């Protein structure tokens, strides 16, 4: 597989730049704004993944529409108009139209900005760099924004990390086994139904129309497959269950 220093290369299909971003850049050039001459109006070129990664079906959506409101010389406009949450709630890149088996890679630049970065920062491309100072703080706020959390829940978006997207959960489960003991706390379905009153607040991801019983039947074989130790914890209280776990781990060792 294509790698450089152990890092996968060309693992995703890239969707070409949206013309709206190019139009904003060309308009900035016509006004003589310095930042606009540091961007190519054609945006990110479309490309296909390397053959060995193609079956992962990872897509990099056009990022220009995420930061289009940063394409200005006015810091006031950046502070007033740049809102990363809108990239999702307005579905600017058409993420909700992607097939269900596609994983969309998303990258933001959250961070803290001190006086040096805000007022001086990168000197070689200052007109471009200054657009990504305050925006880093805005990215932090956006990623913690309840509007984004609500969108993820309402649209039933499954969040995964790069490791799972590239290698699948089985590779991750193997990693867990390498570094420790995988314990499956087995709870009967009826007990789970009694405990769980609000799926949204518990962060349980289910397909539309799927019930807890459906999800239980889907996941139990996986839990049983990867567990080193299984402990029945449906009843008995915290103290008793803790004792059962300790005893099971001792027997496994």
| Nearest residue to 64 via CA among 31, 26, 32 | 26
- The answer to whether position 173 is within a domain reads no
Are 215 and 157 in the same domain? no
Give me the mean pLDDT over the 207-235 stretch. Answer: 88
Q: Is the pLDDT at 169 greater than 70, yes or no? A: no
Top-ranked range on mean pLDDT: pick from 67-71, 184-188, 201-205: 184-188
- Is 112 within a domain? yes
Asked if residue 238 has pLDDT above 90, the reply is no
Residue 185 and residue 248 in one domain: yes
Q: Please state, in angstroms and as integers, the Cα–Cα distance from residue 33 to each residue in 30, 38, 130, 135, following that order.
A: 8, 10, 13, 19
Q: Quote the number of domains for the chain.
A: 2
Q: Do residues 89 and 199 both lie within one domain?
A: no
pLDDT, residue 53, reads 86
Stretch 41-62: mean pLDDT, rounded? 87
**Domain end marker among 162, 197, 230:** 162
Residue 28 domain-assigned? yes
Number of neighbours of residue 76 by Cβ within 10 angstroms = 8
Q: Do 195 and 148 reside in the same domain of the chain?
A: no
What proportion of the chain, given as a percentage, has pLDDT over 90? 32
Residue 172's pLDDT is what? 67
Q: Average pLDDT, stretch 166-183?
A: 77
**Residue 41 and residue 94 in one domain:** yes
Both 192 and 157 in one domain: the answer is no
Asked whether residue 174 is assigned to any structural domain, the reply reads: no
User: What dihedral angle (degrees, nearest 10) is formed by the CA atoms of 206, 212, 216, 219?
Assistant: 10
Same domain for 138 and 246, yes or no, is: no
Question: Average pLDDT, stretch 169-184?
Answer: 78
Q: Are residues 140 and 227 in the same domain?
A: no
User: Do 110 and 204 reside in the same domain of the chain?
Assistant: no
* Residue 149 belongs to some domain of the structure: yes
Q: What is the mean pLDDT of the chain?
A: 85
Calculate what percentage of the chain has a pLDDT beyond 70: 91
Q: What is the predicted pLDDT for the residue at 2? A: 55
pLDDT at 4 over 60: no
Domain assignment present for residue 228? The answer is yes
Instruction: Tell me the per-residue pLDDT of 13-46, one tens digit each, with 9 for 90 and over.
Output: 998 888 889 999 999 999 998 888 888 888 778 8
203 and 110 housed in the same domain? no
Mean pLDDT value across residues 74-80:
87
What is the rounded average pLDDT of the residues 126-141? 81
Query: Which structural domain range is residue 214 located in?
Result: 181-252
User: What value does the mean pLDDT take over residues 212-228?
Assistant: 90
Considering the domain architecture, whether residues 147 and 31 belong to the same structural domain is answered as: yes
- Mean pLDDT across 153-162: 84
């Amino acid at each position: 597989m294509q790698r450089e220093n152990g890092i996968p290369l060309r693992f995703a299909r890239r969707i070409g730049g949206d013309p709206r971003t190019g139009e904003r850049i060309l308009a900035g050039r016509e006004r003589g704004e310095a930042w606009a001459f540091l961007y190519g109006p054609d945006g990110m070129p479309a490309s296909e993944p390397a053959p060995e990664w193609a079956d992962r079906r990872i897509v990099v959506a056009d990022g220009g529409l995420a930061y289009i409101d940063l394409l200005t010389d006015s810091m006031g406009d950046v502070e007033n108009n740049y809102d990363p949450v809108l990239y999702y709630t307005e579905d600017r890149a058409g993420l909700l139209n992607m097939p269900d088996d596609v994983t969309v890679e998303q990258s933001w630049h959250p961070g803290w900005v001190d006086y040096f970065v805000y007022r001086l920062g990168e000197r070689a491309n200052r007109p471009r760099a200054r657009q990504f100072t305050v925006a880093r703080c805005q990215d932090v706020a956006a990623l913690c924004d309840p509007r984004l959390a609500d969108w993820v829940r309402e649209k039933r978006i499954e969040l995964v990390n790069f490791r799972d997207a590239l290698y699948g959960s089985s590779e991750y489960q193997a990693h867990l086994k390498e570094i420790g003991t995988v314990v499956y706390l087995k709870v009967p379905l009826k007990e789970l139904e009694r405990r769980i009153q609000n799926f949204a607040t518990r962060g349980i991801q289910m397909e539309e129309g799927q019930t807890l019983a459906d999800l239980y039947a889907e996941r139990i074989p996986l839990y049983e497959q990867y567990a080193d130790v299984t402990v029945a914890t449906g009843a008995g209280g915290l103290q008793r269950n803790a004792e059962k776990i300790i005893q099971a781990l001792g027997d496994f060792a």
